[in-house]
Each structure stands twice: as structure tokens, then as C-alpha cells.
Amino acid sequence: MRRKYIVVVILFLLLFGVNVSGDIDTKEPSATVFDGNILYCGGSGAGNYTTIQSAINDAVDDDTVFVYDDSSPYYENLEIDKSINLIGEDRNTTIIDGENNDYIVIINTDFVNIKNFYLRGDYGVYLESSYNQLSFNIMTIENSCIENQIDESHNNFISNNKLIHNNYFGEDDTDDYVIYLQNSNDNIIYENTVYTFYDSGLIIIGNNNHISKNTFVNSSYYGYYYYYDMLPIEEIEIEGDYNVISNNTIFSGDEEAFIGISVIGNSCNNLIDGNNISGCSKYGISIPEIQNNMVSNNIIYNCFFGIDTEKSNGNTIIENKIFECYTGISIMRSNENIIMKNEIYECNEGIGLYNSNENIIIKNEIYECEYGILLESFSKYNNISLNNIHKNIIGLELSGFSKYNMIYNNNFLNNDVNAKFLQWCFINNWNENFWDKPRDFPYPIFGNIRYSLYWLGLCILIFGFLIPTIVKFDWHPASEPYDIEV
């Protein structure tokens, strides 16, 4: 009896002990309240249930089923159709083994709370309902750990779990995600550790979800799978509006994951903030074909592209720190974006614009790159101002018929070549930039045309002679460097 009193105290601590950080607007589902009877499973108490499912069958709404670890592992596949608390004694030792018979737990009613279990088997938890809580569990699962694919599932709270995608049998027929929520809104995914194999860590299709303070790592880097050396596709993929992806850590070892965070499908008004992303073989953050999203305060390094946009308009990329990438920020066929107050260094290209128009590049710190800023492929009407561009091999280069761009009020300092242009990019406006030191005369920007046989013949036909170099001028160079806070 004394042990059961101790269990009651533990239950109170487990049910009310989660403290969600105040940096995002979150709250736990209100129905996970210890308010009914306690049914005991396992252990040596008189009248205790021998199977978890039999205790669930006898429970009513608001009851708690407490499972001792003495009789673990429990070889069961559970179906929960009542609003109950299902609590394990110890998440390391209270084991439910589904024996690879489909889902270990199916939840088909609202307001279910599952804590402190070790789940292992084929599939983990399937959600057919809303307002559920999954916290402080360990799942070592061959396929998906948590998912819903058909029914809507909203307002779930998934926190402090350790989710391991582990291919036991060396077969590559697994589901391509660890967590998958479709048609799901207002969910909180908080402080979980997700180990990905050949899959996505988290996929959510829905609105107003919060994904915060989770850690995503590659399973192979920590030895959690055995046979196939396959790489994750992306760690986080979101499709929807008004989602918040904040303060997550994505670590894939040495260029393991393909994409760190991806927002797709014409999504709008999402916030990607404060994440730490490293080791992605392609994109740290990818935002293709989306509008009016904000990417801010992220640290991204050792990726091929730090932040990449393609056919994305009206986004704000602000106050990110990006280094040791091939391209820090890539703007591809994207218009009217704001790239502001980013620190970019030790990249091949700091900021690259490709066939992109009317973007604003302002107050960025770009240094120790091969190219500080690069405009290519018909990029037009872009505004490049108040940037610190220093210690690069080439500070700013325009090529590929990029024209009508405004380059003014920037600091060009200690670059091997401050600025140059190629391929008919001489119709741009350079004005009031600071060029290494005070200037009494206009500062020349030298350009040349890369000749092919076609352009060689065209030059001779039009001009009657070759034009190997063209000079543009900053007619009013600044007399002192600008004080630019980044």
C-alpha cells in the first residue's frame, strides 16, 4: 500500500511537471488532469491487471492506468478509446513491445496522456484524435514513431520524447518520417530528441504549429542503425501558414542530412527563428515557392547553401549568422525579398542573386568569402546599400546581363577586388560607396565582356572593334566609412 501512495505522488509530479518556455505562446492541453481512479498494471499488488489493454478496457474517462516495470516487457498493441492518463513507472524500463505487429498504440479519442514508456517495434503511436499529450517517452521504431495520415489531429502536445528511427532488419522499405502530422493545426512539438535514418525527422501539414527546442540528429552518427548507410532527406518539413519553427538544433554530423528545415507548398507567414543548423549536404534552410515568411536569428554552418529561396517572394531574411557554406544566402528567381543584418563569412559566395529582381540587400556584414555579393542571370532592379563588404577576394560582382541595380552607401574595405562586372552588366548605378579610403575623384569599377565566338562577331559587327574592358564610375564616393550596425 505504501508503494501505491508513492505512486500517487509520482503521478502528480509527472502530470504537472512540464514547464513550457515562455518564448513561444504555448500551453498544455487542459484535459490531462489527474481526476479519476488509478488502475494498476503489473507489479505484485492484489488485483493488479496483468495486461495494459485490460486495464484500459476497465477504465473510464479521467482515470489513470499506472504501469509498473516489474512485469516489463509488455507484448501488446494498444487501442485507447477513453480520455485517460497512461503512465509508466520508468521510461527506460517500462517497455511495450509491439512485436512488429503494426502500431503499438492507436489513440482514437481526445484528451489522452501517455508518459514514461519505452516503445519498440514496427510503428509507434497513431493519432486519430486531438488534444493528446505524449511526453517523456522513448521510442525505438523501425518505421514512423508518431503519425496521423487520414484523420485530422489538432492541439496535441508532444514533448521531451526520445524518438529513434532504427532499421532493425536492414531493409529499406521504411516510412520516410519519424513524426508525420497531416491536416494538423495548433500542435506543440517541444524539446524532443529525434534520431533520423533514411527519412524526414518531422513533417507537418497544417497551420499554427509550434516546433521548438527540439534536437534532430542523424541516427548513423550515433550508431542507431545497422545495415544501410542511407542519409536523411530533411529534418523538418512544414507546409502551411503561421507556423513557428524556433530554437531547434539540427546536427547531422559531417554533411549527412540533405536539408535542415524546408517550408514548401505556397506557405505564408511562417517564422523560422533561432535554430542552429549544421552539416547539411544541400540546404540549411530551404524556402521554395513561398511568400511573406521570416527567417531570422539562425546559425547555419557547414552546409552547401545556408539559406536558399527559389520562386519565393516577399520574404524577410534577417539577423542570421552563416559561415563555412558554399553559398551563404541564395536568392533564385525570387523577387521583393529583404536580406538584412546577416553576418556571412568564410563562404564561396556570401549572397548570390540569380534571375531575381527588386530585392533589398541592406546592412549585412560579409567577409572572408571568395565573392561577397554576386548578381547573375538577368538580376535587375535590386537595391544593395549600407553593407559592410570586406576582406573578400571579390567584394561585389555582376554578371549574366544583370542591370538597373542600385549599389550605394556600402563600405568596400580590404577586398582583393572591391567590385567588377562582366557580360554586359554596365547599366547599373554606383553611388556614394566608401572604397577603402577617402577619394577626391570618382572611383572606377572595371568590367569586361567574356567573349564567345557569338559575342566576338557581334562586337565586331556593331562596334567595328573589340571592347575588352568597360569602366563605370562611382561619381560621388564617400569620404569616410559608414557606421553600419549589423
Query: What percent of the residues of the chain are helix, what percent strand, and what percent coil, each to the nearest 5?
Result: 10, 45, 50
Domain positions in the chain are 1-100, 142-303, 323-486
pLDDT at residue number 253: 57
pLDDT tens digit string along 66-113?
999 999 999 999 999 999 999 999 999 999 999 888 899 999 999 999
The helix (H) or strand (E) run that includes residue 429 is: strand 429-431
> Which numeric CATH code is attached to 323-486?
2.160.20.10
Facing residues of 417 across strands?
Answer: 394
Whether 322 shows a pLDDT value over 90: the answer reads yes
Write down the pLDDT at residue 330: 97
Please, what is the average pLDDT of the chain? Answer: 86
pLDDT in tens, 242-284: 999 999 999 865 445 689 999 999 899 999 999 999 988 889 9
How do residues 392-413 score in pLDDT, each as one tens digit? 999 999 998 899 999 999 999 9
Percent of the chain with pLDDT strictly greater than 90: 69
Binning pLDDT at 50, 70 and 90, where does residue 27 land? very low
Cβ atoms of residues 213 and 245 within 8 Å: no
335-358 residue pLDDT tens: 999 999 999 999 999 999 999 999
3-state secondary structure at position 311: coil
Q: Name which of 31-40, 78-87, 109-118, 121-130 the model is least confident about.
A: 31-40
**Mean pLDDT of the region 327-341:** 97
- The whole-angstrom separation of Cα 56 and Cα 40 is 10
* Burial state string for 120-144 with b = 16 or more CB within 10 A and e = fewer than 16: bbbbbbbbbbbbbbbbbbbbbbbbb
pLDDT computed for residue 100 by the predictor: 81
The mean per-residue pLDDT over the stretch 16-22 comes to: 39
How far apart (Å, rounded) are the C-alpha atoms in residues 141 and 83?
25
Q: What is the pLDDT of residues 189-230, one digit of tens each?
A: 999 999 886 668 899 999 999 999 999 987 554 444 433 344
- Residue 10: its pLDDT value, please? 40
